[in-house]
Structure 1
Amino acid sequence: MSYLSEQLFARAKPIPTPPTGLERTLKGAHITREDPFFGLRDLTNPASSDYLQQERGFMERLTRSLQETRDELVREYRSRIPEPDESYPTRRGGYEYFTRIEPDLDYPIHLRRKLGGTEVETVLDENEIAEGHDFLSISGIAIADDDHTIAYGVDFSGDERFLLRVGRLDAGVITISEEIASTSYGFLFTNDALQLLYTRPDDAMRPDTVLTHALGSDPSEDRVVMHEPDQRYYLDVGRTKDRAFLVISASSAITSEYWLLPPTGELDSPRCYRPREQGLEYHLDHINGTFYLMAAHEGEEYQLFSAVDEHSPWQPFFDLPSSDRLESFELTTLGLVLQLRSNDRTKLTYVPFDSRQGIELSVDDPAVTTILLGNPEPLATTIRIEETSLGLAATLIEIDLPTSTRTTLWQQRVTGDVSLDDYTSYRVYAPSDDGVAIPVTVVHRKDLTLPAPTLVYSYGAYGEPIDPTFSTMRLSLLDRGFAFAIAHVRGGGELGRQWHDQGRLHHKPQGFRDLMSAIDWLIDQGITTPELVCLRGASAGGLMVGATLNLDPHRFRAAILEVPFVDCLTTISDPELPLTIMEWEEWGNPLESQLIEELMASYSPYDNLQATRYPDLLVTTGLNDSRVSYWEPTKYVAKLRAISPSTNVALRVEQDAGHMGASKRTEAYENEALVQAFLLAACTALPSN
């Protein structure tokens, strides 16, 4: 059967010619590999720069063929989003803060008004900051307790190295007094608004240093509070709920450590709460004169503890049911609210200090994601949660803890000719190759005729759960006859820490088998057919998709690989590259383990490409990506062109973006419309002659 995409790829010719003369023999600790496109990492080489230019030209021609559908999709996206659109306000101190999206502007405007007042004041207009720049990312906004001292970080390239601006906010105008170069995401003011604590990344983009800046001083005089020499660990800064302590956390993939600082005054001598122990993760907070902790040794699930101070033994605080796994908690003066997973369902439980009896606050529906948002006010007796699903618009709910009364504060508005009652969302379970049930969440129109084209999304890494959330843009794909599914494979965190452990290190290939099993189930249940299955994954999820494609390239109709980690063995074998050493606890260290090196060589998407036709592929990358370097997706496409000329593949190179993609709202719409237009063309069968 022929598909529309074949015609569109043919119209986009000439096809880029893979470069030559860029090969290198890679001698690992235990095995040797040939890399025909290693030299693509050198953009000063004319062969590399010329090839990228060819790929840009090919992508531009293909995009023109999709432009009519793309424009139509963008119009639909915009018709569903009310403009202007405001978030629900959140109280902090004497103000309530919210954001607004204005028509035809690309970035949010951050606003506030005094409690009980009506006059709105601008805190930060990202559109003004972005003027003259093609990209903008804000690392965060910190406002001190005086309500006027402000700090925010700006990145104009996408490399996630921020210029931290410090100033004073008065009547909607910020006067910048100092700028601190090369900072990371974490920063906060001391309680007296006289100092700023912030993190700085090393050359490998690991936040390895915490510094303190005295407001009004020269940033070159900033003092180092802590430096972390172990390259497996990264540093972050925070504050306990009761504002009694500033904290520095040192974390690796499986080990953590906390240091305490006073909220004001001298910050030069942090004291360690509990020294790190390999494999022990703990997280702490403080209220009512007591520390509360969640802790677990490697392979175990988190448990709750309390302690009067860092010298006191940890006492069990609340025994979780055997089916529940703790993910996080929020402190209030009345008790703890726990973010849990009960089997594969998100769950919230309130544990009052006076009774220590769990009170469930969430709905009993595995297809609904319940998210604990907490409350920034230390003395609040309410907490906020969000409920959403693939078919439920995000809903903000406030719960009064003494009475468990729920009040809906806000729901994401969907404008235009849309009725969410037309869609159905549900959770099903696919048996994997070892008999373990893999959760799969599905959404489609109720009137959809099955089997239908189905886009399957998966990630499966770092213990990160991919919980179902609502998307107005996804509705366009559903309205055009697609089903959408999330395969919650092992390696993620959907069923707790053990679910993660069963899909990392030497267990990593289990996630690929889980994804294939989920697809098999969707086919067996008549939701889709082998000719209409499409895959999508980003970053480590791009590795998931690339490795799964190699298991059976003929099994799929199309795939989207966004900033994909497809040359994993080469990257994870190079400790000079950003983040590599920190990644060893997730993927393993091929420099030390022959098992890991040989295993990664067996599943690395780039190393295992086959000389056979693959499904239609759209691959994306950003030249300023500091997490997955541009050359990984570029090499993947070049090799595929060389060994499988019949495969329809396109590479989209974003010149002014990093790992997170485009920052402008309009560009985000256009990029998603390109993906959906590509999928629609790939699944549109042409009439037979």
Structure 2
Amino acid sequence: MARAGPDPRPRLVEVSSDKPPVAKKVQAERTHHGDTVIDEYAWLADKEDPDTVTYLEAENTFTQAHTRHLADLQETVFQEIKGRTQETDLSVPTRKGGWWYYSRTEEGKQYGIQCRVAATGDTPPELTPGVPLAGEQVLLDGNELAGDSPFLAVGTSSVSPDGRRLAYSTDFSGDERFTLRFRDLESDELLADEISGVFYGGAWSADGSAFFYMTIDEAWRPYRVHRHLIGTPADEDVLVYEETDERFWVGVGLTRSERYLVLSAGSKVTSEVRVLDAEFPTGEFQVVRPRRTGIEYSVDHAGDRFLVLHNEDARNFALATAPVDDPGTWTPLIEHREDTRLLDVDAFSDHVVVHFRRDGLTGIRVLADDGEPHEISFPEPIHTAGPAGNPEFHTGRLRLAYTSMVTPPSVYDYDLAARELILLKQRTVLGGYDPGDYQQFREWAVAEDGTRVPISIVMRKGARRPAPTVLYGYGSYETSIDPSFSVPRLSLLDRGFVFAIAHVRGGGEMGRHWYEDGKLTSKKNTFTDFVAAARHMKAAGWSGEVVARGGSAGGLLMGAAVNLAPEEFAGVVAEVPFVDALNTILDPSLPLTVIEWDEWGDPLHNPDVYAYMKSYTPYENIDDRAYPPILAITSLNDTRVLYHEPAKWIARLRAVAKGGPFLLKTEMGAGHGGRSGRYDAWREEAFTLSWILDRAAGEAATQGGKV
């Protein structure tokens, strides 16, 4: 990639709070496959250039000035979110070994507190929010860890199988590079062991003497697995595995039985798994099956067999068993079905639980050793359900999580013998919330090629239609945006808004084919599906003005959709948006690029992919039509979607397009997920919601009462 420019130190012009910042255009050329393109804002990618920081700060100043009239509304919405939240609260205790584990929050504190208490029986202890339990041991207090730091992320929090040690890792900048530490839970002492530059996750050996962790390369790819022996210097850690194929990343964990360590290597389309008896951490990992392009599989363990979830001749995946002494020999247990996508499998001592997706909704199937397989029934036709918090291998109950667009997150135990759901806790929503005051619906838009695209909708009963609408979308990586509850969303619904999720292709809502029809050279289906959903919401009488919202790869969706049909949207919120996709995927030195070639294609080496991506990537396709107002939100330390993508996008929108205004808000001390403390996150959400209310509801936005 060739870059050249006459001015190596660009300067800014028109920097003030009253006028939008204008980035000086600097000649920078790139040539690929005979195509020469000028990227006049490429200089914004230099994070170390003082002019870049000056520009981002100027953008923040302008955005703050331009939204100053929303300050009262923002504070109102923040107080609504805060007022509906049980600030002092706790989770349902989960049994593991001789302990009950739970987390709690305290009013006025930004972060949660992880705790445990010794188990004296099979019945979980009665916990009262705000009242410490006798014998409580605090494992991690995020508030103490954060100290004066404005940002904290915990990448690992893992208690050894014997319950004696805790491994945890912290990041104070948002760049997702963690420092790993260990605590002796019996003496409550912090051990001298400390390892910097580690990735998320990790796994203990059976006796807690060794901990396996990952490190990343310069492209932010987890590619090495190391073994650390407790009490030894980090520079003596053993490199257990290194993945040399840049398309693959690695992970390490334990089977639910905690009998085997599992080392996985995977690309977007291929996987390879190795296993090792957790009682012998210095042994050699054994390959389950060598990698074959296009074959994905995962492994869990039960008794004398492994359970293998795979897609060999099974696009929506099938489940097989394999002897532990011959893991490459697979015997079918659940055959492939065209209408059911198998998502995950959890093995227990005498039953197997399969998490699946059918007709755009999630479900759970139980295969008990002493009974017929059956699926768990749930009370609402639109819902999201899945296994959650099941660390005990020997149990007659299944812990699961449940929610819908009107039902707050709920925790159930499913009694396997009685086939009965037992509600343990439903998140408290203060302020008189009644699920009966709201309605959820399922609609279907028709895409350009005739494909029916599902839309999940929620609104307050009695709200007038057509209504101002927020239409949310993602549509990449087979990630499904399932129907779920949101406390902040109530501030929209109670002001007469409709909230809708467009389940566009590229996600996984309708099975593996849904993903495949929205990636590579079918990627444009994602964008046209979203536009079709917006038009359907209007044509069917649901929506008046539509504000589109999406983040990360969903931010790419926002940029592409508004290029296709700017007239359909009253505003666009693009959070950490992947809007400069072509330039990023052309540069293999950037984080995650080579890994992503299986998702987007390889424009560096394939001219057809280059031409296809260039035809849709948002930054390359801005024209001089009237665009709606756009709010782009990013973080300076984001390692997944670099801050310069939205910065360049907004700069070019200002230079080329009509309409707007086009606003950029950069969090100068956070990463991909934005600010980390819950109160800070609520304020950021209140800012975004107040902007949405202003765009789609105008004066009605100030109405705080029920519609």
Q: TM-score range by the shorter chain?
A: over 0.9
1:82 corresponds in structure 2 to: 86
> How has the CA–CA distance of structure 1 residues 506 and 299 changed in structure 2, closer, same or farther, with 3 Å as cutoff?
farther
Query: In terms of mean alpha carbon deviation, does 509-518 or 138-147 score higher?
Result: 138-147
Which residue, 156, 160, 170 being the options, matches 1:144? 160
Change (3 A) 1:637 1:21: closer
Instruction: Decide which moves more: 223-232 or 58-67.
Output: 58-67
The alpha-carbon deviation at position 308 of structure 1 amounts to 1.0
State the match for 2:334 in structure 1. 318
Corresponding letter in the other structure for 1:550: N
Instruction: Considering Cα pairs closer than 8 Å and 6+ residues apart, tell me whether 1 or 2 has the greater RCO.
Output: 1
Deviates more, 1:32-41 or 1:629-638: 32-41
Matches of 1:385 and 1:630 in 2, distance apart? Answer: 37
Which AA in structure 1 matches 2:205?
A: T
The question of whether the paired residues in 2 share the 8 Å contact of 1:257 and 1:276 is answered with yes
Q: Distance in 1 between matches of 2:563 and 2:471?
A: 16
Contact persistence 2:210–2:281 (CA under 8 A):
no
1:371 to partner: Cα distance: 1.6
1:273 paired residue number: 288
Any idea what the Cα deviations from partners look like across 1:207-265, whole Å, max 9, x if unmatched?
10000011000001101000000011111011112222111000110100111112133
1:320 Cα deviation after fit = 5.4
* In 2, Cα distance between equivalents of 1:257 and 1:616: 46
Q: Distance in 1 between matches of 2:184 and 2:67?
A: 45
Which residue identity is paired with 2:170?
A: V
Q: Secondary structure of 1:392's match? A: coil
1:14, distance to aligned residue in structure 2 (A): 2.0
Correspondence for 1:479: 494
For 2:658 and 2:115, locate their aligned partners in 1 and report how far apart those are by CA, in whole Å: 53
Partner of 1:457: 472
Partner amino acid, structure 2, of 1:226: Y
- The one of 53, 59, 62 aligned to 1:58: 62
Residue aligning to 2:5: none
Following TM superposition, by how much is the alpha carbon of 1:345 offset from its aligned partner in structure 2, in angstroms? 2.0
Aligned match of 1:221: 236
Distance 1:234 1:642 in 2: 39
Match of 1:287 in 2: 302
Q: Give the conservation status (yes or no) of the 8 Å contact 1:225–1:268.
A: no
Asked if 2 retains the 8 angstrom alpha-carbon contact of 1:18 and 1:639, the reply is no
**Residues 1:407 and 1:43: Cα distance change in structure 2 (over 3 Å):** closer
* SS of the residue 1:581 aligns to: helix
Partner of 2:697: 684
What runs of 5+ residues in structure 2 fail to find an aligned partner?
1-15, 126-133, 701-707
| Amino acid corresponding to residue 91 of structure 1 in structure 2 | R
Distance (Å, rounded) in 2 between the aligned partners of 1:346 and 1:410: 20
Write the distance in 2 (CA, Å) between the matches of 1:551 and 1:102.
46
Per-residue CA deviation, residues 486-534 of structure 1 (Å, 9 max, x unaligned), is: 00000000011111000000000001111111111111110113xx111
In 2, the alpha carbon distance for the partners of 1:410 and 1:564 equals 35
Shift of 1:374: 5.6
- After superposing the two structures, state which structure 1 stretch, 291-300 or 215-224, moved more: 291-300
DSSP 3-state at the match of 1:603: coil
SS across alignment from 1:317: strand
Partners of 1:349 and 1:362 within 8 A in 2:
no
Asked if 1 retains the 8 angstrom alpha-carbon contact of 2:413 and 2:421, the reply is: yes
| In the alignment, structure 1 residue 70 sits paired with structure 2 residue 74 | yes
Instruction: Specify the alignment match of 1:579 in structure 2.
Output: 592
CA displacement at 1:60 relative to structure 2: 2.2
Instruction: Give the distance between the partners of 2:354 and 2:99, measured in 1 at CA.
Output: 27
Q: CA deviation at 1:93?
A: 1.2
Structure 2 Cα separation of the partners of residues 640 and 403 of structure 1: 60
Match of 1:3 in 2: none
5+ residue gaps, structure 1:
1-11
State which of 510, 518, 531 in structure 1 corresponds to 2:533: 518
Supply the distance in 1 between the matched residues of 2:561 and 2:49 (Cα, whole angstroms).
33
**TM-score of the two chains, using structure 1 as the length reference:** 0.95
The one of 146, 154, 157 aligned to 1:130: 146
Shift of 1:383: 0.8
* 1:589 paired to 2:605: no
Contact 2:166–2:184 (CA under 8 A) maintained in structure 1? yes
User: 1:530-545 residue pairs with structure 2 within 5 A?
Assistant: 532-545=545-558
Q: 1:370-519 maps to which residues of 2 (within 5 A)?
A: 370-373=385-388, 375-519=390-534
Q: CA deviation at 1:597?
A: 0.7
The question of 1:42 aligning with 2:51 is answered no
Q: Is the 8 A contact 2:203 2:261 kept in 1?
A: no
Q: Are the aligned partners of 1:332 and 1:381 in contact in 2 as well (CA < 8 Å)?
A: no
Q: Is the 8 A contact 1:328 1:338 kept in 2?
A: yes
SS at match of 2:646: helix
Question: Residue 106 of structure 2: which of 99, 102, 107 is its match?
Answer: 102
- Cα distance in structure 2, aligned partners of 1:298 and 1:287: 24
The offset of 1:618, in angstroms, is 0.8
What's the CA shift string for 1:317-348, capped at 9, x where partnerless?
A: 12355422211111112221111112212111
Q: Deviations over 1:246-295 (max 9, x none)?
A: 11000110100111112133435211111100100011111111111111
One-letter amino acid of the counterpart of residue 343, structure 2 = E
Contact 2:97–2:392 under 8 Å retained in 1: yes
Per-residue deviation, 1:592: 2.1
Q: Is the 8 A contact 1:294 1:303 kept in 2?
A: yes
Q: What is the rounded CA distance, in whole Å, between the counterparts of 2:314 and 2:639 in structure 1?
A: 30
Post-superposition offset of 1:85: 0.7
CA distance 1:523–1:299, change in 2 (3 Å): farther
Q: CA RMSD in A?
A: 1.7
- Which residue number corresponds to residue 346 of structure 2? 330
Shift >4 Å, 4+ stretches: none
Counterpart contact for 2:339–2:511, Cα < 8 Å? no
SS in 1 for 2:442: strand
CA distance in structure 2 between the aligned counterparts of 1:86 and 1:213, rounded to whole angstroms: 33
**In the TM superposition, what whole-angstrom CA distance separates every residue of 1:541-573 from its partner, at most 9, and x where no partner exists?**
000111000001122101100000000000000
Match of 2:44, as an amino acid? Answer: L
Q: Counterpart of 2:146 in structure 1: which amino acid?
A: A
Contact 2:570/2:629 (8 A) holds in 1: yes
- Could you tell me which residue of structure 2 aligns to residue 620 of structure 1? 633
Cα displacement (A) at 1:676: 0.7
Q: Within 1, Cα distance between the matches of 2:53 and 2:668? A: 12
Q: Choose the corresponding residue for 2:36, options 21, 32, 38.
A: 32
Deviation by residue 1:625-654 (Cα, 9 ceiling, x = unmatched): 001111001000111111236421111110
Count of aligned pairs:
672
1:166 to 182, 191, 203: 182
| Alpha carbons 1:543, 1:565 under 8 Å: kept | yes
Q: Distance between the aligned counterparts of 2:294 and 2:41, measured in 1?
A: 38
Secondary structure in 2 aligned to 1:453?
strand
Distance in 2, matches of 1:66 and 1:176, equals 49
Rounded to whole Å, the distance in 1 between the matches of 2:278 and 2:214 is 17
Partner of 2:10: none
SS at match of 1:560: strand
Q: 1:421 to 1:311 in 2, by over 3 A?
A: closer
SS at match of 1:465: coil
Q: Is the 8 A contact 1:164 1:183 kept in 2?
A: yes
- Structure 2 residue corresponding to 1:344, chosen from 347, 360, 366: 360
| Deviation of 1:366 (Å) | 4.6
Q: Deviations over 1:104-158 (max 9, x none)?
A: 1000011111113742221110100100211000012111133231110100000
Residues 454, 465 of structure 1: alpha-carbon distance in 2 compared, 3 angstrom cutoff: same
Question: Identity across aligned pairs (percent)?
Answer: 36
Structure 1 CA distance, aligned partners of 2:648 and 2:280? 52
Deviation at residue 298 of structure 1 after TM alignment: 8.1
Note the alpha carbon deviations across 1:384-416, whole angstroms, 9 max, x for none.
111111111111111121221211111111111
1:30–1:594 contact (8 Å) kept in structure 2: no
Q: Which residue of 1 aligns with 2:131?
A: none
> SS state of the match for residue 70, structure 2?
helix
Q: What is the TM-score when the length of structure 2 is the normalising length?
A: 0.92
Alpha-carbon offset, residue 615 of structure 1 = 0.9
How far apart are the structure 2 equivalents of 1:303 and 1:318?
6
Deviation for aligned residue 1:354:
4.4
